[in-house]
Amino acid sequence: EAKSSGHGGVIVFSEALGCEARNRMALERELRDAIRDRQFVLHYQPIFSLDKSQRLRGFEALIRWNHPTRGMIDPGTFIPAAEESGLIVFIGDWVLRQGCTAMARLHERLANRYSREDLPFVSINIAPQQFLQPNFAAHVQRVLIETGVPPECLRLEVTEGVAIIDSERTRQVLEEIRAWGVRTSLDDFGTGYSSLSYLQNLPFDTLKIDRSFISSMDDPKSRKIIRAIMDLAGNLNLSVVAEGIETPEQGNALIEMGCEYGQGFHLGRPLDEASAFALIPFDEAA
Ligand code: C2E
Ligand code: MG
Ligand code: MG
Ligand code: MG
């Protein structure tokens, strides 16, 4: 996967412009051009069952900016500016539509080989500002109808940031979306505040354990925290995805702990659409 030139993100822009505020304005202008000129692409990272089947269950869609002169730029470099400027709403709409369109194309190729419940899902990251748009749920429904993706094959990932802004509204939107069968994930769980009251009040289907816990798994404390999160999830009937599995040891330890799903460079990196979807076994109905 191409990186933004080895410079740490925003530095790339500030070198040219010298000053923080003008730098941010220039970045916003470039983001507007990028929306207009369709410079964004989605990569897809596979998510696997960690049971004996080791089956590929779906993909997380991850945005990249294919910049005309700087090459492929990671989201950490531009999502914060997109959020601050409000442009994330437009960019996020594009991601939702593009991810569902791609998944519908894949489903078409799988139609005779896979039963509906075995079809792969696409998991889309939704920024708080996008999620809290007044018409967000209706918009999701429109995209599902227009693309033909079955609701059970769409997952929406939000972070607790959305609940911190407005937890009652978050609950309403989650409930509305889940009523049609769309699954919802709480992303990066264990970082930030991770208030347990969010788990009590908000109807999520899945917890995604933040990769900081997986990368520090050599530390027995980290393992205990992972185990505690998994116990909690099990008791609340939530699925668990471990993010950022980078080594076979981490993968095996998580399998032993009974973790349901896994994602990480060891299992599969984010890939362009064609390469990612080629990971799906086409001939054997799973
Ligand atoms: P995230 O949703 O937690 O996505 C997982 C990130 O971890 C991705 O980084 C992925 O490439 C990376 N990752 C996966 N496995 C491994 C691993 O084994 N080791 C390491 N070191 N990293 C791994 P990426 O693609 O750079 O995305 C970063 C963040 O940007 C995402 O974190 C998400 O918060 C945000 N993002 C990405 N795409 C979108 C989008 O379409 N909309 C919004 N609102 N945010 C997005
Ligand atoms: Mg990255
Ligand atoms: Mg995510
Ligand atoms: Mg995450």
Q: How confident is the model at residue 193 (pLDDT cuts 50, 70, 90)?
A: confident
The pTM assigned to this predicted structure is: 0.93
Whether 120 and 99 have beta carbons less than 8 Å apart is answered as no
Q: How confident is the model at residue 20 (pLDDT cuts 50, 70, 90)?
A: confident
**CA nearest to 282, candidates 84, 54, 118:** 118
pLDDT at 272 over 90: yes
Calculate mean pLDDT across residues 165-185.
97
Rounded to the nearest 10 degrees, what angle do helices 136-147 and 88-110 cross at?
30
Tokens (6 digits) for 121: 């899902």
| Protein residue whose Cα sits closest to atom 25 of ligand 1 | 62
Cα–Cα distance for residue pair 141/12, rounded to 1 Å? 38
pLDDT digits (tens, 9 = 90+) for 81-99: 999 999 999 999 999 999 9
pLDDT of residue 283: 58
In terms of phi and psi (left: phi > 0; alpha: psi -120 to 50; beta: otherwise), the region of 6 is: left
Centre of ligand 1 from the C-alpha of residue 62, in Å = 6
Centre of ligand 2 from the C-alpha of residue 264, in Å = 11
ipTM over 0.90? The verdict is yes
Q: How confident is the model at residue 201 (pLDDT cuts 50, 70, 90)?
A: very high
Calculate mean pLDDT across residues 202-225.
96
Best of 62, 215, 217 for a ligand 1 pocket test (most atoms within 8 Å of beta carbon): 62
pLDDT of residue 276: 98
Calculate mean pLDDT across residues 203-214.
96
pLDDT at 9 over 70: no
pLDDT of residue 5: 46
Cα–Cα distance for residue pair 173/253, rounded to 1 Å? 36
pLDDT digits (tens, 9 = 90+) for 125-165: 999 999 999 999 999 999 999 999 999 999 999 999 999 99
pLDDT at 1 over 80: no
pLDDT at 169 over 60: yes
Average pLDDT, the chain: 92
Q: How many CA atoms lie within 13 A of 73 on its CB side?
A: 24
Cα–Cα distance for residue pair 82/75, rounded to 1 Å? 10
Cα–Cα distance for residue pair 131/126, rounded to 1 Å? 6
**CA 10 vs CA 32, 74, 159, 242: distances in Å:** 17, 11, 23, 29
pLDDT of residue 23: 84
Look at the alpha carbons of 58, 201, 195, 88 in this order and tell me if their dihedral is positive or negative: positive
Q: How many CB atoms lie within 10 A of CB 61?
A: 25
Cα–Cα distance for residue pair 173/168, rounded to 1 Å? 9
Best of 72, 78, 125 for a ligand 1 pocket test (most atoms within 8 Å of beta carbon): 125
**Helices (DSSP H) in 180-266: which residue ranges?**
196-201, 211-215, 220-235, 248-257
**Which atom of ligand 1 lies at the shortest distance from residue 79's CA?**
45
pLDDT of residue 70: 93
The one-character DSSP state at 191 is B
Dihedrals φ, ψ of 188, to 5°? Answer: 55, 35
Cα–Cα distance for residue pair 38/55, rounded to 1 Å? 33
> Which numbered ligand comes closest to the C-alpha of 123?
3
- pLDDT above 70 as % of the chain: 92
Centre of ligand 1 from the C-alpha of residue 92, in Å = 14
pLDDT at 10 over 70: no
pLDDT of residue 4: 44
Strands (E) located in the chain = 40-49, 56-67, 71-73, 121-125, 154-158, 183-189, 206-209, 239-242, 261-262, 271-272
**CA nearest to 30, candidates 74, 76, 69:** 69
Q: Is 96 in the pocket of ligand 1 (CB under 6 A)?
A: no
Q: How confident is the model at residue 67 (pLDDT cuts 50, 70, 90)?
A: very high
Q: How confident is the model at residue 15 (pLDDT cuts 50, 70, 90)?
A: low
pLDDT at 188 over 60: yes
